[in-house]
């Protein structure tokens, strides 16, 4: 059968994807998700090694234990307060008072923490939270002598959410956000520099040395113009510039808790790293405050290299991952695809739905089994009909399981799985108790191998007769899924027109290709 001629809209999709896609450079959702998970995985990687000196750290592996005795994949206060800030920015905009409230919810209620367990709270953060409880204004809660890394470790979301504001406004926000827990000039400068660096990496800057130089220039220009407003130690331009000079001249690289050390240790770990894993491993090897250094470096590396550079086993190995994923989805939804200007459709915005067929009048409906159609779980793809999707595979698998799906037949080809970034489907679905069957069919053609395809259909029919719930997935859940769903009741003896009508009733805009319709009507095939 002749291949379908490439139509103008297909060419346009392909061009849009290449213009801002994996063939050229990273999509913004890849960098946004990479930043958050890069931070969390760096944090969890470093937790078991915290307080160890560099000479006591040999091989760095994903594990639990350590001084805190936490299971593998546990992020600390670094990750929890970063998520708290992200939630605040997405929910309330830039509001330091709200930021303080969410930090208190973390400390007092275990919000944003895996298992709701809070451990290893920094001294300066503890003092600031006490001040907040006592009614101190949020921007005055952080002590002016608080030179720890507690504000730097959480500041990442500021650059991720406020992508369009001017550099000067981003710096001002970073300074104000730092003061909620850390009011020293060192802490405020570190937060401002980090936010500017993340912004430039997010925009695709590749020269890391140049990124740092430019960030330092912006901060220097702003301090020279107005100092650090509200700072007791650096209110004047001269005093503020002296603080910046001292910050830039810092020679220590020990992974310790002072913010200037944490900043430069994390930067050095990232600046020369060839990939994400190299960056966070190097950060942990500094020893001391390993979780914070690796979280800060991991955020930078995640933005730079994207989510696919963060080991999938680490991502899925995070404890209470849905806490993070919901916020990641909301963050991704703030971007609009360049194809049609609509927000990316995430698992949070649109739960994966199975459209079930009416099986009455057939043997399939007698045993309590069900059969339905859906689209490829976890797909990250610009689709002409379905729009821009940026979905989470684990979330989609959980949705399938919640709908009672026992078996999922996936009809997409291997190249489509790769293109849709869903290559882990065979690994993830069984973890959710779902049997996966793969039978690739080229879109929009009928099956190339009638015998093999009929064997698959017969297997599905047997499962439904035995009471199982079966779902059929193609990339968009349209023509291939519709054709296969119609063939199941055809195999059970239902008339062609009736089977086709029931597919259309269950899911609109499916099973429209003439060759596939003819295939259903001609069932069974020799």
Q: Identify whether residues 310 and 371 lie together within a single domain.
A: no
Is it the case that residue 19 has pLDDT exceeding 60? no
In a domain, 333, yes or no: no
In a domain, 137, yes or no: yes
Q: What is the rounded CA–CA span in Å between residue 437 and residue 484? A: 13
Phi, then psi, of 114 in degrees rounded to 5: -55, 130
Q: Is 320 left (phi over 0), alpha (psi -120 to 50) or beta?
A: left
Query: Is the torsion defined by CA of 228, 233, 235, 241 positive or negative?
Result: negative
Burial (CB < 10 A; 0-12, 13-18, 19+), residue 366, is middle
The size of the chain, in residues, is: 526
Assessment of whether the complete model's pTM goes beyond 0.85: yes
Query: Is the link from the previous residue into 5 a cis peptide, with omega within 30 of 0?
Result: no
**CA distances in angstroms from 347 to 106, 145, 305, 381, 470, listed in the order given:** 25, 43, 23, 13, 21
**Is residue 8 a part of any domain in this protein?**
no
Could you count the other beta carbons within 10 Å of the beta carbon of residue 52?
16
The whole-angstrom separation of Cα 369 and Cα 362 is: 11
Hey, which residues does 437 pair with through a beta bridge?
409
In a shared domain, residues 286 and 395: no
Split into its structural domains, the chain has a count of 2
82-91 confidence digits (pLDDT tens): 999 999 999 9
Do 277 and 385 sit in the same domain of this protein?
A: no
Q: Is 65 helix (H, G, I), strand (E, B) or coil?
A: strand
Residues 120 and 223 placed together within one structural domain of the fold: yes
The answer to whether 285 touches 293, Cβ cutoff 8 Å, is: no
Rounded Cα–Cα distance for residues 379 and 375 (Å): 8
Q: What is the CATH number of the domain that holds 416?
A: 3.90.190.10
| Helix, strand, coil tally for the chain in percent (to 5) | 55, 5, 40
Is residue 26 domain-resident? Answer: no
Q: Do 217 and 156 fall into the same domain? A: yes
Whether the bond into 524 is cis, omega within 30 of 0: yes
7 pLDDT higher than 50: no
- Name the pLDDT band for 337 (thresholds 50, 70, 90): confident
Q: Indicate the residue among 277, 300, 320 that finishes a domain.
A: 320
Q: Both 412 and 516 in a single domain?
A: yes
Contact 446, 516 (CB under 8 A): yes
List Cβ neighbours of 56 (8 Å cut-off, separation of 6 or more). 287
CATH number at residue 283: 1.10.4080.10
Do 300 and 371 fall into the same domain? no
Q: Which of 362, 361, 437 is nearest to 406 (CA)?
A: 437
Cβ burial of 163 (10 Å; 0-12, 13-18, 19+) is middle
The CA distance from 233 to 246, in Å, is 13
Is residue 211 in some structural domain? yes
Single out the residue in 273, 293, 320 at which a domain terminates. Answer: 320
What is the model's pLDDT at position 526? Answer: 54
> Once rounded to an integer, what is the mean pLDDT over residues 259-270?
98
Residue-wise pLDDT tens digits, 306-333:
999 999 999 999 999 999 999 999 999 9
**Quick check: 434 and 464 in contact, CB under 8 A?**
no
Confidence of residue 366 (pLDDT cuts 50, 70, 90): confident
Statement to judge: residues 298 and 182 lie in one domain? yes
Question: Is pLDDT of 12 > 60?
Answer: no
Work out the average pLDDT over 219-227. Answer: 96
Q: Which of 12, 266, 309 has the alpha carbon at shortest distance from 155?
A: 266
> Cβ neighbours of residue 226 under 8 Å, at least 6 residues apart?
237
Residue 24 domain flag = no
Q: What is the DSSP string of 8-21?
A: HHHHHHHHHHHHTS
By residue range, what is the domain housing residue 361?
355-521
| 412-459: pLDDT as tens digits | 999 999 999 999 999 999 999 999 999 999 989 999 999 999 999 999
* CA–CA distance, 55 with 85 (Å, rounded to integer): 34
Residues 506, 462 within the same domain = yes
CA–CA separation, 474 vs 443, rounded Å?
9
pLDDT in the model for residue 6: 42
Residue-wise burial string across 77-101, b where 16 or more C-beta atoms lie within 10 A, e elsewhere: bbbbbbbbbbbbbbeeebebebbbe
Does residue 158 belong to any structural domain of this protein? yes
For 316, other C-beta atoms within 10 Å of its C-beta total 15
Q: Reply yes or no on whether the pLDDT at 207 is more than 90.
A: yes
Same domain, 313 and 360: no
Contact criterion met (CB below 8 Å) for 149 and 267: no
Q: Residues 393, 515: one domain? A: yes
Residues 260 and 393 in one domain: no
* Main-chain phi, psi angles of 389, to 5 degrees: -115, 135
Spatial distance between the Cα atoms of 488 and 525, rounded to a whole number of angstroms: 13
Q: What is the 3-state secondary structure (H, E, C) of 88-133?
A: HHHHHCCCHHHHHHHHHHHHHHCCCCHHHCCCCCCHHHHHHHHHHH
3 inside domain:
no
Burial of 5 (0-12, 13-18, 19+ CB in 10 A): exposed
């Amino acid at each position: 059968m002749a291949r379908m001629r490439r139509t103008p809209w297909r060419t346009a999709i392909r061009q849009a994807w290449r213009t801002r896609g994996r063939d050229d450079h990273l999509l913004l959702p890849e960098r946004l998700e990479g930043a958050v998970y890069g931070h969390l995985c760096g944090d969890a990687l470093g937790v078991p090694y915290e307080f160890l000196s560099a000479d006591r750290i040999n091989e760095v592996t994903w594990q639990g234990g350590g001084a805190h005795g936490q299971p593998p994949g546990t992020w600390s206060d670094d990750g929890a307060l970063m998520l708290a800030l992200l939630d605040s920015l997405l929910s309330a905009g830039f509001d330091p008072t709200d930021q303080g409230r969410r930090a208190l919810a973390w400390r007092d209620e275990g919000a944003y923490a895996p298992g709701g367990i809070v451990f290893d709270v920094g001294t300066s953060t503890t003092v600031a939270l006490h001040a907040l409880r006592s009614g101190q204004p949020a921007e005055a809660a952080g002590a002016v002598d608080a030179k720890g890394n507690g504000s730097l470790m959480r500041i990442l979301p500021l650059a991720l959410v406020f992508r369009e504001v001017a550099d000067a406004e981003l710096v001002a926000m970073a300074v104000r956000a730092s003061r909620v827990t850390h009011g020293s000039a060192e802490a405020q400068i570190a937060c401002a520099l980090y936010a500017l660096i993340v912004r430039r990496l997010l925009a695709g800057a590749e020269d890391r040395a140049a990124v740092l130089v430019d960030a330092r220039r912006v901060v220097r220009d702003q301090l020279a113009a107005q100092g650090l407003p509200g700072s007791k130690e650096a209110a004047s331009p001269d005093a503020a510039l002296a603080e910046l000079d001292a910050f830039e001249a810092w020679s220590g690289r020990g992974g310790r808790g002072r913010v200037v050390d944490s900043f430069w240790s994390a930067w050095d770990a990232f600046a020369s790293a060839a990939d994400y894993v190299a960056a966070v491993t190097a950060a942990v090897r500094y020893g001391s405050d390993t979780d914070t250094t690796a979280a800060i470096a991991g955020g930078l590396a995640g933005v730079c290299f994207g989510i696919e550079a963060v080991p999938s086993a680490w991502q899925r190995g995070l404890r209470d991952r849905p806490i993070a994923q919901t916020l990641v989805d909301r963050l991704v939804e703030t971007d609009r695809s360049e194809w049609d200007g609509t927000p990316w459709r995430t698992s949070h915005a649109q739960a994966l739905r199975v459209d079930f067929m009416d099986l009455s009048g057939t043997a399939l409906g007698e045993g309590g089994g069900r059969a339905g159609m859906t689209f490829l779980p976890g797909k990250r793809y610009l689709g002409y009909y379905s729009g821009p999707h940026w979905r989470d595979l684990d979330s989609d698998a959980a949705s399938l399981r919640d709908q009672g799906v026992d078996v999922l037949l996936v009809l997409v080809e291997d190249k489509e799985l790769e293109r849709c970034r869903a290559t882990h489907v065979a690994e993830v679905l069984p973890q959710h108790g779902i049997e996966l069957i793969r039978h690739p069919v080229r879109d929009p053609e009928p099956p190339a191998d009638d015998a093999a395809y009929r064997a698959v259909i017969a297997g599905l029919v047997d499962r439904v007769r035995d009471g199982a719930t079966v779902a059929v997935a193609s990339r968009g859940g349209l023509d291939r899924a519709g054709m296969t769903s119609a063939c199941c009741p055809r195999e059970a003896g239902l008339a062609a027109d009736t089977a086709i009508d029931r597919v259309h009733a269950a899911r609109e805009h499916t099973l429209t290709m003439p060759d596939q319709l003819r295939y259903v009507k001609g069932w069974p095939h020799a």
